[in-house]
Amino acid sequence: MSTYHPLTEQEAIDIARSIEAFFPADASLSCKEIGDGNLNLVFHIKDSVSGKSLILKQALPYAKVVGESWPLTLDRARIESEKLILEGKLAPGLVPQVYKYDPELALTVMEDLSDHVIMRRGLIEGNIYPLFADHISTFIANTLFFTSDLGMNQQQKKLQVKSFINPELCKITEDLIFDDPYTLSDNNNYEAAIEDAAAALRSNDELHLEVAILREKFLTNAQALLHGDLHTGSIFITKQSTKVIDPEFAFYGPIGFDIGAVYANLLMNYVAQAHWSKDEAAREAHRSYLLEMVVSIWNQFHDKFLALWEAHGVDRLANEAKGYKQYYMKRILQDAAGYTGAKMIRRIVGLSHVIDIDRIDDDAVRNSCQRQVLNIGTQLIIRNRSLQSIEELVDIVKSN
């Protein structure tokens, strides 16, 4: 069974049973394939005796998006598995536990998180997650600091860069986020009603310059080992627990890109509350909550990253040069603002959307939200290199 082939449910059960000391000997295992079938098979294996369960995630050798299918490397399963294991070491408790990785089958066996919900869905329902800012700021600070030249042996880091070279998945980001939305592309996908706003993206010189610079940083700036796709659909959550999943886009890139992914998705939810909130008061409350979360994530990330730097910094000059830490943190904030904008814009006019916006059934409200997301995104990008504080970012959101 070691040559690659998509697993059957029975094979998945057999593999699950072979995970040592997980299921009891008398386990009665059932299996359900719960993936969307576009990129991966996801088997949910449950023991009806003990109630224990596992997830088997197997990469498929192709990607399917809106009917099209193209080949996609199975090496992403290795990247995902290795990154998950590393994240588990650097940010304990904030990712699913990995029990086994089988390179031949492109298969990862991991902790079942079905007691959690996907955060995007939770936010749409108006839920509050009091520990999220703390958890995600720890996740980002720990995983990024300890994989950067500030926090790990700089020669080992170069070997890690090599191990996480991820051309195929990076190309998806490069095309869908940093190219298509700003030109006429068959990949673009938006409603005729916002054609004027989409056209404005294609003719804004100031915007193009900044997107080109953000694109260049994505292509060249090996600052830390990113998650690479850290939106609210990659986060499982409860009031007590946060688990970041799906790091198959992991690669060495600019730290602000991971932060921007979180922010973009919180802010799209902020805009979409025009529809999802039950009333004006609920809307204002949920929006305030989201903006406070944005500020709190930055402030906690900032303090935690600097505390790690103070305690574990490996680079003498970076540790000691006066003003360097402030310079470094401000650039992260500026990059985060730019990438937030880029990730908002692409979810409105690009190939892949978010349900926060798309499932708004009132056309006028939905289109109004789409325009607002584009306005905020455009301003965040245009102003990213001059941004001085997280409050300035929030002001841009509020005034657009």
Q: Note the residues at the interface with a second copy (CB under 8 A).
A: 149, 154-156, 158-159, 161-162, 165-168, 170-171, 174, 178-179, 182-183, 205, 208-209, 211-213, 215-216, 219-223, 315-318, 320-324, 327-328
The answer to whether 24 is annotated as binding is: no
Q: What is the DSSP letter of 192?
A: G
Q: Which is nearer to a second copy, 114 or 156 (CB)?
A: 156
Q: Which residues contact 312 (CB under 8 A, 6 or more apart)?
A: 145, 146, 151
| Consecutive H or E run containing 304 | helix 280-312
- Give least dist CB 375 to a second copy, A: 21
- Is 147 in contact with 157 (CB distance < 8 Å)? yes
CA dihedral angle for residue 272, residue 278, residue 284, residue 289, rounded to 10 degrees: -70
Q: Which is nearer to a second copy, 2 or 220 (CB)?
A: 220
Instruction: Give DSSP secondary structure letters for 319-371.
Output: HHSTTHHHHHHHHHHHHHHHHHHHHHHHHHHSS---HHHHT---HHHHHHHHH
The answer to whether 112 is annotated as binding is: yes
Pairwise CA distance, residues 53 & 109, whole Å: 11
| Consecutive H or E run containing 252 | strand 251-253
- Give least dist CB 311 to a second copy, A: 19
The answer to whether 111 is annotated as binding is: yes
263 to 126, 166, 200, 268, 335: CA distances (angstroms): 17, 24, 23, 8, 12
The answer to whether 303 is annotated as binding is: no
Q: Which is nearer to a second copy, 9 or 315 (CB)?
A: 315
- Give least dist CB 77 to a second copy, A: 18
Q: Which residues contact 27 (CB under 8 A, 6 or more apart)?
A: 17, 47, 49, 50, 52
Q: Which is nearer to a second copy, 99 or 324 (CB)?
A: 324
- Give least dist CB 179 to a second copy, A: 6
The answer to whether 366 is annotated as binding is: no
- Give least dist CB 310 to a second copy, A: 16
The answer to whether 57 is annotated as binding is: yes
Edge-to-edge strand ranges of the sheet holding 117-118: 117-118, 235-237, 242-244
- Give least dist CB 323 to a second copy, A: 5
The answer to whether 246 is annotated as binding is: yes
Q: Which is nearer to a second copy, 334 or 372 (CB)?
A: 334
Q: Which is nearer to a second copy, 311 or 317 (CB)?
A: 317
The answer to whether 102 is annotated as binding is: no
Q: Which is nearer to a second copy, 91 or 177 (CB)?
A: 177
- Give least dist CB 213 to a second copy, A: 7
The binding site for ATP consists of 40, 57, 111-113, 246-248
The binding site consists of 40, 57, 111-113, 229, 246-248, 346
The binding site for substrate consists of 229, 346
